[in-house]
Amino acid sequence: MTLKRLSALVLAFLMLAGLVSIGAAEEVVELRVLNYLDMASPNSAEETQVIWDAFEEAHPNIKLVIQNEFNEPFHQATEAYAAAGNLPDVMYVWPSGRSTTLHTKHLLKDLTPLIERDGLKDFYIPLATDPTQQVSGYVAMLSNGVTATNAFFINMEVLKDAGLEPAQSYSELVAQVPILAEKGYDTVLMANQDTWVMQSCLFSLIAGRFGGEGWEQKILNGEAKFTDPEFVAALNFVKQIYDDKVINPTTLAVGYGEGPGLFATNTAAYYIDGDWRAGAFITDASTGEALISPERQENFKITVFPDIDVEGVKLNKSNTAILATGYAINAALEDGSAKLEAAWELVKWLEGKEVLTYRLSTGGLGSPSRTDIDYASLDLEPLQVAIANLGKEYDKATVVIDGVFEGPVYTPLNDGLQAIGLGSLTPEQVAQNVQDAFDAWKAAK
C-alpha cells in the first residue's frame, strides 16, 4: 500500500466515521503533545503527514503543538514537565518503568470511563484495558500492543561465510567466537552505551531464566533478595558473556542509534534488541531504501536468546514481555471540558485501527493491541513477518525489570551491568548495591 493511498484512506475513514467532533464554528482547541519519535528510523518523516496532519485535517478545530523527542532527551523532558507541574495535554508513556513518576503521582487521566462510554473495550486485547498491567493501578494509557524486549536477530550471510549454523545454546555461541573472529566478525552485537539496553533487552531475560517465573514477586514480598544466589548467578552470567567475548566489551561504546547500521553491514553474526527494532531495517517509504532490502531480509532470522546451558538455570525457551507503550492524557484536564474531549479524540486516533495498521505496515509495531486489524491485506516484508511470529519462538514470558521495579531500584542495576562489562564492579557488588537501593526505596514508601 503506497503512502499516498494510505493517507487518502486514513482521511476518508475519519470523515466517513464522523470523527470531526468539534464544529467549525467553535473555538479552536490547542493541544500540547509530547511524542516519542526516532527521526533516523525508516518512515519517520511520513509519520507527520500520515498520522498527525491527517488528524488535524479531519479536526479543523483542534490544533496540535507537537514536541518530538527520542531516547534520553524524551525521558528528561517528561520528568522536567512533571516536576514543573506543566505536563502536555497528551503524551507518549510507558505502562511502568520510565513513566513511573507519571503513574505513581497520578498525573495521568483514568481512561476507563471514556473507554466504556465509547464502547471500545472489545476492540483491544485484554491486557490493554487491564488496570493491573499499569503502575497507576488504572488504565492511564491506551497501549499500542505487547512488547517482547528480547529479539535475537540472526545474520545467515555472516554465519554461512564462516561455515556455521545458528547457535542453539550458549555453549555453541562460545564455540563460534574464535571462528567468527578469524573471519573478522563479532559474535553478538548490542548497543550497550545506553545503560537501559542490557537490562531491558537481555539481562531481564537472564534473570528470569535463573530465577524462574515470579522471581520478582518474591523480592517485592520480602521472600527473597537481590543478593540471593539466583540473582548473583544471573549477574555472573553477564560477566561470563563479556569474558567469553560472546558480547565484546567494546559494545559499551556503541550508541543505540548505531546498532542497526552496524548489524546491517555484516559486522556481527547476531544482534540483540527489542522487537520494535525490526522497524529500523525495513524499507523507508519516502526514499524506497532499506538498511536491509526485502530480498536480502530472507537471509535473516529472528528468535530469542539461545538456551543457557549452565548450572542454576530454571527456564529456557523464555523471553521477557510487557504491555507496550501508548498515549495518555494529562490528569489536570477537566471532565466534560472541550480540551479533554479533544485530547480523547486524539488518543483514540493514535491507538485506533488505522494508525496501528499503519505502524504495523511500516515496521513501527510488532504486535498491535487492536483486535480488528486485517493482516492479510498488508504487504509485509520478511523481517516484519518474522517479528510478528516471534511469540512462537518462546514458551514462557517473564518480567522486564524496569517494568516492575521503580527507577531508584533499576537505575543502580543498569549502571551496575555496565560496570560489570567495564570490570569496575563485581557481580556481588552490583547485587549488594541493588539490594541497598531496594531497601532504601521500600523504607521511603
79: domain CATH number? Answer: 3.40.190.10
Greatest CA separation for the chain: 71
Contact 59, 307 (CB under 8 A): no
- pLDDT value at position 11? 53
Q: Note whether residue 289 is domain-resident.
A: yes
| Whether residue 294 sits in one domain with residue 329 | no
Q: Which residue has the cell 501508548?
A: 326
- Write the CB contacts of 44 (distance below 8 Å, at least 6 apart in sequence): 37, 38
| Whether residue 306 sits in one domain with residue 291 | yes
Classify 383 as helix, strand or coil: helix
Q: Note whether residue 31 is domain-resident.
A: yes
| Whether residue 163 sits in one domain with residue 96 | no
Tens of pLDDT along 54-108? 999 999 999 999 999 999 999 999 999 999 999 999 999 999 888 999 999 999 9
| Whether residue 159 sits in one domain with residue 102 | no
Contact 333, 188 (CB under 8 A): no
| 31-62 as b/e: b if 16+ CB within 10 A | bbbbbbbbeebbbbebbebbbbebbeebbebb
Measured CA to CA, the distance from residue 323 to residue 329 in angstroms comes to: 18
| Whether residue 275 sits in one domain with residue 172 | yes
Q: Note whether residue 377 is domain-resident.
A: no
Structural domain count of the chain: 2
Answer whether residue 390 shows pLDDT above 80: yes
Q: What DSSP assignment string belongs to 211-242?
A: H-TTHHHHHHTTS--TTSHHHHHHHHHHHHHH
Tens of pLDDT along 120-161? 999 999 889 999 889 899 999 999 998 999 999 999 999 999
Contact 209, 316 (CB under 8 A): yes
What average pLDDT does this structure show over 38-66?
Answer: 90
Q: Note whether residue 378 is domain-resident.
A: no
Position 445 confidence tier, pLDDT thresholds 50, 70, 90: confident
**Structural domain containing residue 433:** 148-321+392-444
| Whether residue 195 sits in one domain with residue 174 | yes
| Whether residue 301 sits in one domain with residue 188 | yes
| Whether residue 110 sits in one domain with residue 166 | no
CA distances from 392 to 109, 317, 375, 376 (A): 35, 10, 17, 19
- pLDDT value at position 44? 78
Q: Note whether residue 335 is domain-resident.
A: yes
Measured CA to CA, the distance from residue 268 to residue 343 in angstroms comes to: 45
Q: Note whether residue 24 is domain-resident.
A: yes
Q: Note whether residue 387 is domain-resident.
A: no
- pLDDT value at position 361? 86
Phi, psi at residue 390, to the nearest 5°?
-60, -35
CA distances from 191 to 185, 199, 207, 353, 387 (A): 16, 12, 20, 33, 19
Tens of pLDDT along 183-216? 999 999 999 999 999 999 999 999 999 999 999 9
Contact 427, 239 (CB under 8 A): yes
| Whether residue 431 sits in one domain with residue 402 | yes
Measured CA to CA, the distance from residue 230 to residue 374 in angstroms comes to: 44
Q: Note whether residue 135 is domain-resident.
A: yes
Answer whether residue 342 shows pLDDT above 60: yes
pTM: 0.79
| Whether residue 430 sits in one domain with residue 284 | yes
% of residues, the chain, pLDDT over 90: 78
| Whether residue 128 sits in one domain with residue 168 | no
| Whether residue 298 sits in one domain with residue 334 | no
